Amino acid sequence: MWRLLIAVLIAETADGYRVGVGRADVTGPPVEIAFMGYAVMKQRGSGIHLRQFSRAVVVEEAGRRLVLASVECGMMSHGVRVEVLRILGQKYGSLYTEDNVMLSGTHTHSAPGGYLMSLLFDLNTFGFVSETFSALVSGIVLSIERAHKDLAEGRISISHGELLGANINRSPTAYSQNPEAERARYVYDVDKTMVQLRFERPDGRIVGAFTWFAVHPVSMNNTNTLVSSDNLGVAALLLEESMNTGYLPGKGPFVGAFVSTNLGDVSANLAGPRCMASGLPCDINTSSCGDRDVCVAQGPGKDMFESTRIIGERIYSKALELLRAGEQGRRYLSGGLRVVHQYQDMPNYKALYWDPASSQEIPVHGCQPAMGYSFAAGTTDGPGTFPFSQNVVTANPLWDSIRNLIYGPSESQMACHYPKPIMLTTGEMTFPFEWQPSVVSTQLALVGDVALVCVPGEFTTMAGRRLRDALRQTLHFASNKNVLIVGLCNTYADYITTPEEYKVQRYEGASTIFGPYTLPLYLDIYRKLAQATLSPESRLARNEPPVDFFNDLLSLTTPVVFDFAGWSAHFGQVLLEPPETVLSGDTVLARFVGANPRNHLQHEGSYLTVERLQGETWRVVATDASWETQFHWTRISGILGTSEVEVRWSVPRQVLPGTYRINYLGHFKYMHGQVEPFVGTTRNFQVVGG
């Protein structure tokens, strides 16, 4: 009966879809700024391996619109979204608002931070970084503008398939705490299903695809200092390359995004954790080794670059298979479009929870944000700096006394978060401003019979499965594969585990900031959002948004003062020339007198180009967005303002033989503040077959 009613509602509102896709560069300052993800202060940018992009799709049906932008950054910030919406409002009026715009971070851990505007998240960047913030805002807006201009009649289809050999569970002992009967419903302890929405024109021309697959983009580890979109970024570049023949990376009409989903406990490091010094297995419960040894998970490759490539290629290959699937391998969507949004004050949210221990429904509520001891341990993908281990459920008096010098948790806070021993009671710490968000954005879109669930954090595998099941039941869907979780979306409020996983306090549980019943609260919230989508006339309460902290932000990031080429040199001067002849498969190095890349972020451009002579014309064959290039910047003297740039080009095996050269495109800054461009060019060199 319910399915019939939904079908009637969809049929009555159906007017056909219009779709548009767009992409834009959002690369932040590639040097001197700490990365967001591993929270390691010394992991500061020194160049670029892969640029960051925002990929957006706009869907319109019967006058309603939905925007989904998948952004290659650590996570989404409420402040970034507010500014994006402000600019869109200036351009388009009330067309794009907080109600219908979803912004999701892919969760790469190799991109500059300083834009989240919650003190804890911006500590490792020494506060707010306006360059990162502006780069994200301007690029996201541009990608949405391009999608807006691309709007035309289109069709949307959904397909799915199983991908093995690309992800593992990094907290299997926490996952095992979930009920045996529940776990028995699933073959794997992580989701192996890839789901793809394909966007095409009525003539069958494919213009874009947004793909969901659960994996942490942590193939690049916490020793990496080159900006990188990691494994999902590699998959996106490869998919776009396969569809945009003849275009450079990040260019071309086809837009292929890989959207984060319930990746909370999912790792790409397939070899699993080992003790680095001894080579022995880590303790399975605590992920520790003892004797000052460190437990670290390794990828499938010999180093992080090879691991990133391997995982990216596997994800890309499956996505391309889905993209090229015929009519029998996909289903076209039809019906209405409905988007709902609501802010939620999580510490004050109340719901009913079925308690397995007492076999009855009990009232539960959220807690003020707090981080547990195991948060300080980090994960096997990136261990923490301090000597903590995971699975800590008993407080340490020494660390408690140190914590209390900063701010000790109240008795009610400790009781609310039990059994989490609190390391930082972030919800009770208000100086100089909010340490972690209490009010979050929740959003849900219904496109035909597919739900897009914008969640403000990282759901673990089982938490995501429970959310999909809850919405499948509420929406009366035939399959939970029609419920697509859009992760790290609009707001970042850390992790969401199941109550059972929370009890063992591994990293994910210690980082579940609203207490043991965080997931049941979210399930209640999204059920109500789903119910609102089924009632076209429903109006959700306009809850209060988060407090605006723009005027309270702190920034200790020093600006670029000036650049100096040296007493007998000029900017762009070549210090190391490539060999006269190189073989395919070789790595070519070129070194230049440089300037600080923060002077100009080269959006929609590049700090380097590799060119091939074609007749009498130089044709660009690679940029700093290409897999085979690396751009390294080194400060020679901070006092004098001197620096050098090294460009590395790993010559592809399939490269065309011929005459090549490398360009370095930079900007230097005078003492009085003026910025000027310059170009450095190597001598010509010959590339021959290997």
Write the burial class of residue 8 (CB in 10 Å: 0-12 exposed, 13-18 middle, 19+ buried).
Answer: exposed
Instruction: Name beta bridge partners: 453.
Output: 444, 485
What are the residues whose beta carbons fall under 8 Å from the beta carbon of 96, sequence distance 6 or more? Answer: 65, 67, 85, 88, 89, 144
- Tell me the sheet residues that pair with 650: 587
Q: Among 143, 260, 267, 606, which one carries the catalytic annotation?
A: 267
Indicate if 267 belongs to the active site.
Answer: yes
Residues 6 or more apart whose CB falls under 8 angstroms from that of 531 comprise 474, 538
Structure tokens at 570: 């000029």
Helix (H) or strand (E) holding 20: strand 17-25
Exposure string over 220-230, b if 16+ CB within 10 A, otherwise e? bbbebbbbbbb
Asked whether 145 and 22 are in contact (CB, 8 A), the reply is yes
Structure tokens that stand for 650 in this block: 């790993």
**Cα 59 → chain centroid:** 22
Take residue 541 and report the two structure tokens written for it.
């309460």
Helix, coil or strand: residue 582: strand
Q: Which amino acid is at 445?
A: A
- Long-range contacts, 426-431 (Cβ 8 Å, 24+): 426/120, 426/368, 426/369, 426/370, 426/371, 426/513, 427/347, 427/367, 427/368, 427/369, 427/370, 427/513, 428/368, 428/370, 429/119
Cβ burial, residue 433 (10 Å; 0-12/13-18/19+): middle
Closest CA to 487 of 52, 106, 101: 106
Report the catalytic residues.
267
